[in-house]
Structure 1
Amino acid sequence: MKQKLKRIPKKVGTKIRSKVIATLLRMRHRAITCKNQILINNFFHDHFDLDYTRHEDVRTVVETMMTACRTHRNRMHAYFKKFPSKEAVLLKPHPDTTEEQWKELCDLFTSEAFMKQSEQNKKNRSKLTVNHAAGSRSFQRTRACMKNQESGNINPAELYKKNYTNKDGIWTSEGAREIYRQCDLEGKTYTEIEVYSEILGKKSGYVRGLGRAVKPPPSSTLTTQSSDLQHQLAKARDEIEAMRAAREKDLQEFAKKQAEMEATLRDHREEQRVEQERIRLEQEERMKREQEHMRVEHEERMQQEQERMRKEQERLRAEISKELEKKMSSVMEKKMSDMSKRLFSQFGGSKR
């Protein structure tokens, strides 16, 4: 397990240098924390034997990642500052980046927000009363190298001296020397963390000189605050539980009303279906009656027309018969007259 934990900074640094982009470099620690689960799952999943559902493990990887990210950004910025202008530096990207990544980094370094923050950081560094001489090596790394192999302990004063003196053993400032003197005295009575907290000052969640990996000792104020927070947390939990119960009740009432509305809607739909069926049957019955009435009227009209045509035919036959009789009578009379004349002429001429 210890070997795997020792591999975390190296692995994280490799990942950051190989996959880092300007968007990640722009992010603050708080922004990274808000998205830490996504970043960790994408970058470091299955690389370490850690439980990423635990806040401590997530914080360890995020803190290491942010340190590697800051180191990489500082290296890129130092390279950027060697050139006189943005146009010149764009022509020669850093060997560890692609052209696209380098362009994004140059845009970041020339942005108004970055330059403003850079100036503020310069002012803050100028106000430091002591400066360490450990370089890029973390205090925790120095602490691990100086630890007594037999007892596993380390003198806090010597650790402080190691970090705030140069290779020749010269102090970086008189302020650092004075803090070492206090540290040497206090180190005989207090623990390492207590000495650093008392002499270098306290900061919430952070021990000056030892980094974020070491938690500061609890204070009465913190204990009171913790008690208040626990009370507030319990109160908040009760309120949440009450809200959850009220919400559950509202959901049940809503479900009941919804069921009633659905039942009413079903009844209404059934009534509509029955009414539509009744109307359909009435329309069919009315259409049948109208069709029957039309059929009867049609048959009556047909019968009347046939009767009229029959009478007309009889009338025509009667007229034709009368005409034929008249013509035949006229023809017969004419023939009889002609025959009478011929007979008369024959018989009368012979008598003479």
Structure 2
Amino acid sequence: MVKERFKEYRCDLHQRYKRCISHGEAVLSGPPHVTPDDWRILCERFSSEPFQKRSRINSANKGKLEVNHVAGSKSFVRLHHDMRDSVTGQEPGPVDLYRGTHCRQATGSWVHPRASENWAAMDTIRSQPTPDDAQRSELEIMSEVLGTCSGYVRGLGHGAKLMAPAKATSSRSIAGESALRRADILEREVQHLRVVVDEIRDQLERQREEQERRIEETRVEHERRMKEMFQAIAARLPTDAPPPPSSSL
């Protein structure tokens, strides 16, 4: 999420730079929340040839996109959470997520006829049994219908590399990877809890030592005061009077 927000923030700064007529005007028209020195560095980067070349390539690739989505500025992660079942709380799979991000919910119309064809093909493959009775993963189905981009499944939005494997794998392999991730998360949580328990144990030990020290100081102070009190009493007694009883604690 932080990576996505940074990408949007960087894009907003670039759009501000592009709205200026010249580079000199852009340098003098920095946003109020960016220091002049930082804004000047950004302007130099925006006007550099490597950045301009990458921008032209990205614009050309964006123009080749035939099917867009209807998610707008809302991230696919947020849509995945919003589309969960209200009763079971189960979140949709990748195929159903594709429908939710390419079909307008208000009118039921697809953003592009090709999107409707893609989803119909994926839904058909999903409902067909396999010869070995092994259920195919939805990532495999999407990879077969939509293809891949740099080895990753298309149609899962920005950051899909975290969701899709580099190549199609069996559902058992995906489940194993998911179990390993959960085990790794649990292991980190256990390690964190161990650290917390050790800190609490050390804190309790320090408190116990402090209490023992205060008890000892109180005992010593009490003995000193009792001794001074008996000495004062003895000084006021006649010399032929019997000595006061000794203090025993």
TM-score normalised to structure 1 length: 0.40
Q: 1:208 and 2:154 equivalent? A: yes
Structure 1 partner of 2:140: 194
- Give the alignment partner of residue 152 of structure 1, picking from 66, 74, 90: 90
| Alignment partners' CA distance in 1, 2:107 and 2:47 | 39
The one-letter code of the counterpart of 2:118 is I
Closer/same/farther in 2, CA of residues 209 and 95 from structure 1, 3 Å limit: farther
Deviation at residue 115 of structure 1 after TM alignment: 0.9
Render the CA deviation track for 1:180-215: whole Å, top value 9, x for unaligned.
221232343544323322221135663322212213
**Letter of the structure 2 residue corresponding to residue 164 of structure 1:** H
Taking a change above 3 Å as real, the CA distance of residues 100 and 130 of structure 1, as seen in their structure-2 partners, is: same
Alpha-carbon distance in 2 for matches of 1:168, 1:84? 41
Q: Counterpart of 2:92 in structure 1: which amino acid?
A: I
In the TM superposition, what whole-angstrom CA distance separates every residue of 1:242-300 from its partner, at most 9, and x where no partner exists? xxxxxxxxxxxxxxxxxxxxxxxxxxxxxxxxxxxxxxxxxxxxxxxxxxxxxxxxxxx
Residue 84 of structure 1 deviates from its aligned partner by 1.3
Tell me, in whole angstroms, the C-alpha distance in 2 between the residues paired with 1:115 and 1:168: 40
Alpha-carbon distance in 1 for matches of 2:21, 2:10:
19
The reply to whether residue 176 of structure 1 matches residue 86 of structure 2 is no
* Cα pair distance change 1:155/1:99, threshold 3 Å: same
Asked if the contact 1:206/1:214 (under 8 Å) is kept, the reply is no
Letter matched to residue 61 of structure 2? N
* Cα drift, residue 71 of structure 1: 2.0
C-alpha displacement at 1:171, in angstroms? 2.5
Distance 1:91 1:203, change over 3 A: closer
Structure 1 vs Structure 2: percent identity of aligned residues? 34
Judging changes above 3 Å, is the alpha-carbon distance between structure 1 residues 97 and 180 closer, same or farther for their aligned structure 2 residues?
Answer: same
Match of 2:202 in 1: none
Q: Find the aligned partners of 1:113 and 1:105 in 2 and give their Cα distance.
A: 13
Number of corresponding residues: 158
2:33 paired with 1:100: no
Task: Answer 1 or 2: which has greater helix percent.
Answer: 1
Q: For 1:215, give the aligned amino acid.
A: A
* Distance in 2 between residues matched to 1:140 and 1:159, nearest whole Å: 10
Deviation of residue 219 (structure 1)? 4.1
Assess if the C-alpha contact under 8 Å between 1:205 and 1:215 holds in 2. no
Is contact 1:131-1:172 (8 Å) kept?
yes
Structure 1 gaps, min length 5: 1-8, 13-64, 224-352
Structure 1 position 77 matched with structure 2 position 14:
yes
CA RMSD across the alignment = 2.7
In our comparison, the structure showing a higher alpha carbon Rg is: 1
Q: More deviation in 91-100 or 122-131?
A: 91-100
Classify 1:137/1:151 alpha carbon distance in 2 versus 1 (closer, same or farther; 3 Å). Answer: closer
> Do the aligned partners of 1:90 and 1:103 also contact (CA within 8 Å) in 2?
yes
Task: Quote the Cα distance in structure 1 between the aligned partners of 2:77 and 2:126.
Answer: 18
